[in-house]
Amino acid sequence: MTADETVTADETVTADETAAPASAATQASAESRPAVRSHRRPRAVAVFAVTAFLLVIGVILSAGSGQLPIGPAEVVGSLLRAAGIPQAWAPSAPLIEQTLWQIRFPRVVMSLLVGALLALAGAVMQAIFANPLAEPGVVGVSSGAAVGAAAAITLGLTSFGGWTTAVFAFVGGLAATLVVYATARSRGRTESVTLILTGIAVNAVTGAALAVLMFVGDTASREQIVFWQMGSMNGSRWSEVGVVAVVGVAAASATVAIARRLDLLALGDRTAAHLGVRVERLRVVAIVLVALLTGVAVAFVGVIAFVGLVVPHVMRMLLGPSNRALLPASLLGGAVVLVYADLLARTVIPSADLPIGVLTSLVGGPFFYVLIRRTRRRAGGWA
């Protein structure tokens, strides 16, 4: 601990010493200031354009690949025909049309939605905790939602019809978020170490709860729960996509509406309050939104970790930390990441469907580690 503090102190001194020459240099180029001020805006346009382009390509590729390969032209043609624009590209074979609309498209749309919602949930969570290491998977919200969903599966509950799993996933996720929120914060701040340790504790309990549910469940529900923990887009149905879309769109709009107020939380609770934010109310609303987004995202496809960590982080590096740009960018970026991840999961091993949660954890785990290392090295960083 002492060694760390020494390093921090050293770096602060360095920052002090470098400040004077740097500011002199900036003053010299005073006339370029207005141009520099808005440098993030054209970049934002570029980032959104590139992300949207990648999204379209990803959708076409993902819908086209599988046991029955379908060309990009046919995919686009089929989509355009459905939109009421007749042209020659549309596939004529009913088998292709069926494959696209009954198997491929629901899966692609599901991966888009789940990626978007998880990345958004991650970005909102980071704003609430004012800490970039907060992520639904890391702190145990996803596994809390998984317990809720597993309970619904094992106990054979159907009280909310097609929404049952989603409702229980939401309740489980909300409970986990509240536990993390109540325990990880002290005096208006959340320290990284506390946050991660809380996550370990929550994940331990939810892991045990899942094990118990598997133990008491029958073979079928056991298999379902195992599938849950690994996460997969396989077998997504339109009815499920509908549930995710309805809840997701509502929660995402609400989230974007509070983006500006979430920015102010970066100043600390008291200062945010002095600027007219009702901090506790905003936090409760945001926590419910995170639980909703995470719960509905994992309700049908299972736990997919680290999307909410990696995507907002990359977008924050590209666009800066302002939530007004960050939240929509994370939404779009998350969709892109999961479309390609799902494509990879289906194609990396021929004729096998790799669980997508395994894939994102393989990439996200090391990323998380690097992020922690960097936090510790940087002075004035993320405490």
Partner 1 sequence: MSGLAYALRDVGYRIPSPGGATEILAGVSLDIAYGRVLALVGPNGAGKSTLLSVLTGDAAPSAGTVRLDGRPLADWRARELSRARAVLLQSHDVAFSFTVADVVEMGRSPWIGTARADDDDRLIASALARADVGHLREREYPSLSGGEKARVALARVLAQDTPVVLLDEPTAALDLRHQEDVLRIARELASAGRAVVVVLHDLSLAGAYADEIAVIDGGRLVAAGEPGEVLVEERITAVYGIPVRVLTDPDTGRPIVLPRRARADRAVDSRAVDSRA
Task: Strands of the chain (E only): list them.
Answer: 185-186, 189-190
Q: Is the Cα torsion angle 234, 238, 240, 245 positive or negative in sign?
A: positive
Taking residues 46 to 85 in sequence order and writing x for each that binds partner 1 by CB under 8 A, - otherwise, the string is ----------------------------------------
Spell out a b/e string for 209-237, using b for 16 or more CB atoms within 10 Å of the CB, else e.
bbeebbeebeeebbebbebbbbbbbbebe
Asked if 66 contacts 201 with a C-beta cutoff of 8 angstroms, the reply is no
Name residue, tokens 């602060």.
Answer: 12
Shortest approach of partner 1 to residue 283 CB, angstroms? 14
Q: Which stretch in 26-34, 56-64, 149-157, 351-359 sits in contact with partner 1 by CB under 8 A? A: 26-34
How far is Cα 72 from Cα 91, in angstroms, rounded to an integer?
A: 11
First-residue to last-residue Cα distance in the chain: 14
Shortest approach of partner 1 to residue 15 CB, angstroms? 6
Phi, psi of 236 (to 5 degrees): -65, 135
189/237 with CB nearer partner 1: 189
Shortest approach of partner 1 to residue 254 CB, angstroms? 18
Longest alpha-carbon distance in the chain: 73
How far is Cα 205 from Cα 127, in angstroms, rounded to an integer?
A: 25
Q: Which amino acid is at 205?
A: V
7/349 with CB nearer partner 1: 7
9/95 with CB nearer partner 1: 9
Binding to partner 1, residues 246-275 (CB under 8 A) = 260-261, 263-268, 270-271, 273-275
Q: Please name which of 227, 203, 233, 200 lies closest in space to residue 214, comparing C-alpha atoms.
A: 227
**Cβ atoms within 10 Å of 186's Cβ, excluding its own:** 9
Taking residues 109 to 138 in sequence order and writing x for each that binds partner 1 by CB under 8 A, - otherwise, the string is ---------------------xxx------
Task: Tell me which of 19, 155, 216, 348 binds partner 1, using CB under 8 A.
Answer: 19
Shortest approach of partner 1 to residue 344 CB, angstroms? 31
How far is Cα 78 from Cα 53, in angstroms, rounded to an integer?
A: 19
Spell out a b/e string for 313-328, using b for 16 or more CB atoms within 10 Å of the CB, else e.
bbbbebbebbbebbbb
270/373 with CB nearer partner 1: 270
Q: Which stretch in 11-19, 101-109, 140-148, 191-199 sits in contact with partner 1 by CB under 8 A? A: 11-19
Task: Tell me which of 6, 12, 102, 239 binds partner 1, using CB under 8 A.
Answer: 12
Binding to partner 1, residues 282-321 (CB under 8 A) = 316, 320-321
67/187 with CB nearer partner 1: 187
Task: Tell me which of 7, 9, 10, 33 binds partner 1, using CB under 8 A.
Answer: 33
Shortest approach of partner 1 to residue 322 CB, angstroms? 6
How far is Cα 11 from Cα 379, in angstroms, rounded to an integer?
A: 6
Q: Is the Cα torsion angle 364, 369, 375, 378 positive or negative in sign?
A: negative
Cα angle for residues 139, 260, 294 (degrees, 5° grid): 30
17/223 with CB nearer partner 1: 17
259/297 with CB nearer partner 1: 259
Residue 174, CB-side half-sphere exposure with 13 Å CA sphere: 14
170/382 with CB nearer partner 1: 382
99/255 with CB nearer partner 1: 255
Residues that bind partner 1 (CB under 8 A): 12, 15-16, 19, 22-23, 26-27, 30, 33, 36-37, 39, 130-132, 260-261, 263-268, 270-271, 273-278, 316, 320-322, 378, 380-383
